Structure 1
Amino acid sequence: MVRQVTDMNNRINIAIDGPAGAGKSTVARLVANQLSYIYVDTGAMYRAVTWFLTKHGVGPEVPDQVLEHVQHMLIELTPDHGGQRVWVNGEDVTSYIRTPQVNGLVSRYAQIEGLRTHLVQLQRQMALRKGVVMDGRDIGTTVLPDAEVKIFMTATVKERALRRFNEMNDAERTSLEQLEKDISMRDTLDEQREISPLRRAEDAILLDTTEMNIHQVVEKIVSLCRSQMDGERLR
């Protein structure tokens, strides 16, 4: 069960954007825990779609088939000890969506306009009651443009690759050099895609985490959120 704050009128929505490997998901989850909010991992939703479509042999080059298959998907996000579990049509796919194969294809599926529209609608529904921390690449610009707090997290490519490398298990293991190349390519794809490209919202606070540990990042964002709740000016 996810705890909710008791003051319903004081809840806000928090959008955390940034490039691959910036640590958005981990930070967003911890921020949500501290504020007793709901955490929505939009990246996991795109990964779940990627896993589902590759399992059924539907590539990103056939968008009509992609959209047809997505209509038969039920994606659920549930809290778990220290994280979140991802379910597709009742199957726990948490361990399947972080593989190199999914990593290499998710950006290509994410460029399909109809797919993004479908998932954005689901994500907005999740945020209607406020009290949501949502992370991704276009949350502050497209999904929740009215979020009360917007953060754009980033770090150097080298640092992001190292973080991703340290998170990998033996089944996912690849070289640090290859990870740097993959992340750099992912940045280019995300920044140059025509539909909802990765960019910092004009009113988002830039947070470079290269020299920060995770506790410092979470503390900073929680402080900003509490200031917003108290009606203070963010900076």
Structure 2
Amino acid sequence: MIIAIDGPAASGKGTLGKRLAHHYGYRHLDTGVIYRAVAYGLMQAGQDLRDEAAAVAVALELDPEKFGNPALKSHEIGHAASVVSAIPRVREVLLNFQRQFAADPPGAVLDGRDIGTVICPNADVKIFVVADPKVRARRRTLEAQSRGEAADEAAILADILARDERDQNRPIAPLKPAPDAHLLDNSQLDIEGGVRAAIDIIEAVRAGRQRG
């Protein structure tokens, strides 16, 4: 089974994906980490984030063993990743990697912003996660502070709104729910509530297919 998790409510989404993968015994890939790794590689090399050739070169040399680098979680890298992810050739290079991950047994949970629409359009279950931008900004602020980072909540909110607009209007793989995606609004849910709601959606889909 392939479970696709998309939506603008990125904060906590990776945790949701990990929890679902653990629950079902599947593998998990936070696809945002891939783009963060490309952005990080460019910044470490002093390259322009919009330099297509340089970005593609970094994407081709990605090492999955380095996806756990704590530096990839920073607010700065998150913003840079949004810029890099808008480059069509970078998305093309990383497409096969993500699809292969999804196809390998026993099953996979992938989360990002175009899983159900582009990466895995035939995913068994698609969940589109949303939350009020102010709630998301507050959550990200607390996450940053928990890592010992300084965080300006107003600046984070402005960045969230700008990123959503940029991702929703980009010509390649815009952020939008797949026609058969299930909406999950976690504005008022903690991670436990979000996990329970997602499991309810998945089990309802599975039950429907078994009856069919």
- The normalised TM-score by structure 1 is 0.83
Task: Specify the alignment match of 2:23 in structure 1.
Answer: 34
Distance 1:139 1:69 in 2: 22
Query: Which structure has greater helix proportion?
Result: 2
State the AA in 2 paired with 1:226. Answer: E
Specify whether residues 127 and 39 from structure 1 end up closer, same or farther in structure 2 by C-alpha distance, changes over 3 A only.
same
Contact 2:5 2:126 in 1 (8 A): yes
Q: Does 1:184 align with 2:173?
A: no
1:72-87 correspondence runs (5 A): 72-76=61-65, 87=66
Cα RMSD for the two superposed structures: 1.9
State the AA in 2 paired with 1:30. Answer: R
**Of the candidates 204, 210, 213, which is equivalent to residue 187 of structure 2?**
210
**Of the candidates 89, 106, 113, which is equivalent to residue 81 of structure 2?**
106
Distance 2:20 2:204 in 1: 14
Structure 1: which 5+ residue stretches go unaligned? 1-11, 77-86
Alpha-carbon offset, residue 173 of structure 1: 2.0
1:46-61 correspondence runs (5 A): 46-61=35-50
1:165-204 correspondence runs (5 A): 165-168=141-144, 169=146, 171-204=148-181
Identical columns (%): 34
Distance 2:200 2:79 in 1: 35
Aligned length: 209
1:57-136 correspondence runs (5 A): 57-76=46-65, 87=66, 93=69, 95-130=70-105, 131-136=107-112
Contact 1:140 1:150 in 2 (8 A): yes
Distance 1:19 1:173 in 2: 23
Alpha-carbon offset, residue 129 of structure 1: 2.8
Query: Which structure has greater strand proportion?
Result: 1
Distance 1:46 1:129 in 2: 21
Q: Secondary structure at the match of 1:40?
A: strand
Q: Does 1:23 align with 2:9?
A: no
Deviations 1:160-199 (A, max 9, x none): 0011111114543211111111111111111111111100
Q: Secondary structure at the match of 2:171?
A: coil
- The normalised TM-score by structure 2 is 0.91
Distance 2:81 2:34 in 1: 10
Q: Does 1:160 align with 2:136?
A: yes
State the AA in 2 paired with 1:156. Answer: D
State the AA in 1 paired with 2:182. Answer: I
Alpha-carbon offset, residue 226 of structure 1: 2.6
1:4-19 correspondence runs (5 A): 12-19=1-8
Q: Secondary structure at the match of 2:127?
A: strand
Distance 1:65 1:232 in 2: 45
Specify whether residues 226 and 132 from structure 1 end up closer, same or farther in structure 2 by C-alpha distance, changes over 3 A only.
same
Contact 1:15 1:134 in 2 (8 A): yes
Alpha-carbon offset, residue 227 of structure 1: 3.1
State the AA in 2 paired with 1:132. Answer: A
Q: Does 1:151 align with 2:151?
A: no
Specify whether residues 180 and 73 from structure 1 end up closer, same or farther in structure 2 by C-alpha distance, changes over 3 A only.
same
Deviations 1:32-70 (A, max 9, x none): 111111111101111111111110122222201221233
